Amino acid sequence: MKGERALARIFLVRHGETLWNRNFLYQGQKDIPLSEKGREQAKKLAKALERETFRAVYSSDLKRAYETAFAIASPRDLDVILKKELREINFGNWEGYSFEELQKKYPVEFSMWLNDPGEIRPPEGENLRELTQRVVGFLRKTAKEHKNEDILVVTHAGPIRAVLMSILDLDIKHFWKFKISNASVTVVNLDDSGDVCSDGSFIIKVNETAHLE
């Protein structure tokens, strides 16, 4: 059809569980490995995706993402390509704290961030707009490199939300409305225009977790 664009189908996988996930601590870019449960989740992911034909596997360079990606890529004899652009949002000095602890320790700063996370940064961290720019920028480039191919991207909840927000062209205030579980699968199509908001980019599934049951 005239005007039809090439598509890249991108499987966005959130890493398996860590102990910090279990304890509801902000991880950000702290390099926390998978828990025992997280490693089991990664094995289940690999089984669930075994029939998919991935041309490439990309991963955040943080341990929890790489361990998950390796479990999926290893049986296929595919290398895991590590990318810093796929890291979780940088929570800066707030990493390692729970929501309740941050409310007590940084009441003013944390309240300001909750009210405007798109513009306000945690101390020594980044805001949601900066997260979105780096993640979406990477996927724009990657979609052009993988026209009409399926690829796996193992990352974190924040980056996956950022991609969904961008495709739907939603206001940043809706960022937290997407539930992205550990070891979940989200699938999107991105066309080769480099515009995630184009008519050729769309969402296929979000937060699939049936393989974990």
Could you give the percent of the chain with pLDDT greater than 90? Answer: 90
User: Is 134 marked as a binding-site residue?
Assistant: no
Q: Rounded to an integer, what distance in angstroms lies between the CA atom of residue 127 and that of residue 19?
A: 25
Tens digit of each residue's pLDDT (9 = 90 or more) over 13-67: 999 999 999 999 999 999 999 999 999 999 999 999 999 999 999 999 999 999 9
Residue in 85, 88, 95, 126 annotated catalytic: 88
User: Is 25 marked as a binding-site residue?
Assistant: no
8 A C-beta contact, residue 154 and residue 59: yes
Residue 15 annotated in active site: yes
Tens digit of each residue's pLDDT (9 = 90 or more) over 89-113: 999 999 999 999 999 999 999 999 9
User: Is 15 marked as a binding-site residue?
Assistant: yes
Where exactly are the structural domains of the chain? Answer: 7-91+128-212
pTM score: 0.94
pLDDT of residue 7: 87
Closest C-alpha to 83, from 59, 51, 107: 59
User: Is 55 marked as a binding-site residue?
Assistant: no
Residue in 15, 85, 126, 156 annotated catalytic: 15
Residue 130 annotated in active site: no
Fold for the domain defined by 7-91+128-212: Rossmann fold (3.40.50)
Beta partners for residue 98, in sequence order: 25
